Structure 1
Amino acid sequence: MNGEGVPVRCPGCGRDHVYVPPAYPCACGAPLAPPIQRGAPPSPITHRTWTDTWVTVRCRACDLQSQWPQPELGCSCGTVLRVPVRPVTAPPLPSEPPAPPPPAPAAPRPAGARTRRAFRPRTIRTARDTVTAAALYLAWLGFRDLYRAEPRPASGIDLRGRGLVARVDPTTRPASLRAVECLWLHAMTAEARGVHFSLAGYSRDALERADALSVPLFVLDLTGTPAPVNEAARRLVAAAT
């Protein structure tokens, strides 16, 4: 079911989403994505540990089993959902087709045409990886001269760049209203854009305040791929692409 959307309803707010699990190449070269358990309800992530956020996935092309990040979906209400995966011991679905071959190389583009490369995430296993994943994404969006603040300052500003300050929350708690407001104040002082990343989503009042202040909010999954959770973040991505 690589690339196939699966309906997911948020138990917190009732919003419906279509979740497409990210596919990455297996060691054999075939695209591989965790098989989502259709009909199984997602569960909100209220506590996160590094050991329970990996699932075993079997490649249908070569039968290799490997560890893959647990699929997650960030809802616009601020809830981060764990999307259930079929265990490798489950029998294949009757309608499940064999894995497609690796995609053929794209046709050459006309001379002078510019191609934007796809974002290549960095898998998150530690808190430090979370900041690295956010920095890679901001660089992909076009922000330059990024550097990491080490040790982390009291302001909580983890990344700075040309016209940018960013805060990255690697904890298992939803980011708070205070975190969003502090980021906005530092961005105003620096005359820069403030961007917030979180592993565990955002509290409802943080989401509302970010919308009022036009602060872009992103949720990171464990593949290191950010997803925008408010309109300011979607506008930021659209402007860069």
Structure 2
Amino acid sequence: MPESVPLHCPACRREHVYTAPPYPCACGAPSAPRLDAAAGPAVLVHRAWDEDWITVRCTACGRRNQWPHPELGCPCGTVLRIPVAGAPSPGPGHRGPARSAAVASTRDAVTAAVLCLRRLGHRDIRRADQRPPSGIGLAAPGLVVRVDPAARPASSRDVECLWLTAMTESADCVYFSAAGYTEAARLQADALAVPLFALDHGGTATPVNGPGRLLVRQGPT
């Protein structure tokens, strides 16, 4: 089960319970970081790409994956970085196949999605306060976005989760996937009017369903 720790915000003293989100390893097993319950959260002031990622070892196959560093957005506006036990963040001088393959592909997917969103007229694009169950969450005013760099096609459950998140925030949503979508996911997206985009290796985002093509035809908002 995902690990949870109690913590409080240093800025407003509000109490929280944080649950580490699991991410799918290449072997298919869910993998989540071990949280350090003894250490308090740090207030995130400035972002650095290398510090946004941690190395997490899959307990099923032993593969060392690069996952986003756990964070929590407090209602007071403070972003808290959750301490992780036994999973140091790779520094600027780190080299290795896991970082070069996993981090580069994730970065390319996010960059392609951001460029597409900007072409559609969205300027204030940021990392979402709450992380999605898988992939990378982005947000803009009135918009919730999921970028999925995984090697598996996005499922209908993935699409529905994004749509539900958007509904709770009274926002629109867009899904970007590097591995495409299952047929069930496309049908679900059409039924819920969720725009789907496929990301290719050249960094291009292409609409692959009716709502996605309609969004492109409408142009900048």
Higher helix share: 2
Q: Who wins on radius of gyration, i.e. which is larger? A: 1
| TM, length-normalised to structure 2 | 0.50
